[in-house]
Structures are given as structure tokens and as C-alpha cells.
């Protein structure tokens, strides 16, 4: 009996070593799977911000507004989806693609009587500090080699959820009469039209093979977003954009973590009847970029 104990200990040690090797192999397989998922991330678009003063005819395909009985343009708020900002899906069967792009649209009526002037100021103000970062475990079935049993691997998604309030304005309109309540020598008859919306965010930004790596990435992104600063971007003919970009780049705040990629403004004429006095709408579109996860090996 005493002679058998060392054999049992050796056998148990071999089993433990095999188990540790199996666990490490599974972790490596999960990390490879996470890397494959990360490589399928939607590419970041390269689009320049612009505002067009040309009035375009609204086509049916746009589907951005509808007309009520009083021939008033009613905005269809297609961007504020019921995504459940505090709810997440667990153990997804099909992994959600990585996507750090958050697109938005905002539409406003142009009051009758305003004439279109040249664009003097085009601004976007937003606040990404309400965004939250969470880690979710996803079990994914993997096709094994021939003759091997079915295999399910676990990967960990880093998801950003929440809402970004956005306000956009463009100083490009003037009226016949104007009163500036902060008196200036000129421009009393010029006004900026504004549009407000809330962008709902529910994006997986990366996958990691272990929970430790995913929690590390989530913590780093939370740190980038932890500030009470409101963000503002100005596209103006009077500013040195390159100098402003260098100034912003050197600061650590949520505006750098979630930058505005682009904003585009368009004016549409909405056909509502036989007369030529069709109402006009101001339509904005744009996108933000969510933070990138740090490298997996940075977690140590």
C-alpha cells in the first residue's frame, strides 16, 4: 500500500499537468478567436465635415421627414432608437461585430422668411461622459477538426453603452429684421439654426480571450471617459484648424476619447403641394469614434 502512494501521486500530478495544459490551450484558442473577431471591425471612414448651401429636392428614398395636415415638416427621429442604454445581451450565440463608429442624424425646420447666407460658423457640441463600459462573456461554437467533438470557446466582449446628447448649429441664415440682445455693430439680422438629438450607443469595441484582459481594457476606457468636460467642435472660416487640432490632441479628456469624425449639413426642399412655397428642412448627419481597446498584452 505504501508503495502505491507515490504512483498515485505521480498519476495525480500527470492529470493536473494535463489539465493545466488543456486550460492554457483553451485560453490560447479563445485569444486567437478574439483576435479573429477584432480583425472584422468596421473600418473608420475618412469623411470631411462640410455644409452645403445648395438647396436640394427631398427624394422619397431619404425618409427623413413627413408632412402633417398643416403642411408643416415633422421630423422623423430615426436616430433615437430604443436600444436600452442600461441593458445588455449576455452569452450571444452569434458574436456582434466590433464597431467603434456611432452615426447620428438631426433634422430641423427652417422657418419661413429666413434667407440663406454664406456659412459663417458650423458647430457641434456633445457630451460622452454618460457612456458606460461593461464586459460580457460570449460562448461561441467553433468547428473542430474532423473526428473531434464539438468545441465551444468563451470570449469576452468589451461593450460601450449609453447616450450622447448632441447639439449642432450653423450660422448661415439672415432675416429682414433682426435684434441682437448682446449689441454689436453689425450682423444683427443673422441667426444660427440649431438642432438637438440624443445618440444611443450600444457597440462592442473589441474582444479579449480572458476576462482579465477584457476587464483591463474596460478599466482603461472608463478612465478615458471620466471627466465632466463638455465637448465642442467648430468648423469656421476664421480659425486655425491645424493649431486647434494640436491643442486638443495634447489634452486627456473624453473629447479626445470620443472625437467627432465628421459632420455634414444639407438643406432640402420638401414637396407638399402644387404651389412653389415648399418648406425647407436642415438635415445634419455625422459620426463619432469610440475609444480603442489597449493591446491585450498590456494587461500583463
Using CB atoms within 10 Å of the CB of residue 167, give its burial: 0 to 12 exposed, 13 to 18 middle, 19+ buried: middle
Tally of domains in the chain: 1
Length of the chain equals: 300
Strand partners, 34: none
Q: Tell whether the model's pLDDT for residue 132 goes beyond 80.
A: yes
Give residue-wise pLDDT tens across range 138-172.
887 766 666 666 677 888 999 999 999 999 999 88
The whole-number pLDDT of residue 1 equals: 46
Read off the pLDDT band of 134 (50, 70, 90): very high
User: Is residue 140 a contact partner of residue 95, using CB atoms and an 8 Å limit?
Assistant: yes
Percent over 70 (pLDDT), the chain: 63
Domain span at residue 109?
A: 4-299
What spatial distance separates the first Cα and last Cα of the chain, rounded to whole Å? 46
Least confident of 2-6, 154-158, 212-216, 245-249: 245-249
Whole-model pTM over 0.85 = no
- H or E stretch including 13? helix 4-38
Give residue-wise pLDDT tens across range 72-129.
444 444 444 444 444 434 444 567 889 999 999 999 998 888 888 888 889 999 999 8
The whole-number pLDDT of residue 26 equals: 58
Give the residue with greater pLDDT, 96 vs 204: 204
Residues 207-234 have a mean pLDDT of 84
Amino acid at each position: 500500500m505504501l508503495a502505491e502512494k507515490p504512483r498515485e501521486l505521480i498519476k495525480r500530478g500527470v492529470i493536473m499537468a494535463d489539465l493545466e495544459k488543456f486550460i492554457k490551450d483553451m485560453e490560447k484558442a479563445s485569444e486567437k478567436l478574439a483576435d479573429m473577431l477584432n480583425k472584422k471591425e468596421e473600418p473608420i471612414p475618412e469623411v470631411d465635415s462640410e455644409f452645403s448651401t445648395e438647396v436640394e429636392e427631398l427624394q422619397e428614398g431619404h425618409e427623413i421627414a413627413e408632412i402633417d395636415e398643416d403642411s408643416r415638416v415633422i421630423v422623423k427621429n430615426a436616430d433615437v432608437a430604443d436600444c436600452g442604454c442600461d441593458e445588455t445581451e449576455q452569452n450571444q450565440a452569434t458574436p456582434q461585430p466590433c464597431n467603434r463608429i456611432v452615426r447620428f442624424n438631426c433634422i430641423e425646420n427652417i422657418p419661413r422668411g429666413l434667407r440663406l447666407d454664406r456659412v459663417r460658423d458650423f458647430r457641434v457640441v456633445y457630451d460622452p461622459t454618460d457612456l458606460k463600459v461593461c464586459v460580457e462573456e460570449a460562448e461561441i461554437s467553433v468547428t473542430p477538426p474532423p473526428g473531434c467533438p464539438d468545441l465551444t470557446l468563451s470570449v469576452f466582449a468589451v461593450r460601450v453603452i449609453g447616450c450622447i446628447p448632441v447639439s449642432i448649429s450653423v450660422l448661415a441664415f439672415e432675416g429682414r429684421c433682426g435684434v441682437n440682445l448682446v449689441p454689436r455693430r453689425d450682423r444683427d439680422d443673422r441667426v444660427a439654426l440649431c438642432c438637438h438629438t440624443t445618440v444611443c450607443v450600444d457597440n462592442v469595441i473589441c474582444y479579449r480571450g480572458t476576462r482579465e484582459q477584457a476587464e483591463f481594457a474596460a478599466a482603461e476606457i472608463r478612465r478615458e471617459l471620466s471627466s465632466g468636460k463638455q465637448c465642442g467642435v467648430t468648423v469656421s472660416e476664421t480659425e486655425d484648424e491645424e493649431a486647434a487640432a494640436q491643442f486638443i490632441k495634447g489634452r486627456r479628456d473624453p473629447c479626445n476619447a470620443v472625437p467627432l469624425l465628421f459632420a455634414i449639413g444639407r438643406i432640402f426642399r420638401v414637396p407638399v403641394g402644387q404651389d412653389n412655397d415648399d418648406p425647407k428642412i436642415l438635415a445634419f448627419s455625422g459620426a463619432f469614434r469610440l475609444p480603442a481597446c489597449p493591446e491585450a498584452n498590456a494587461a500583463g
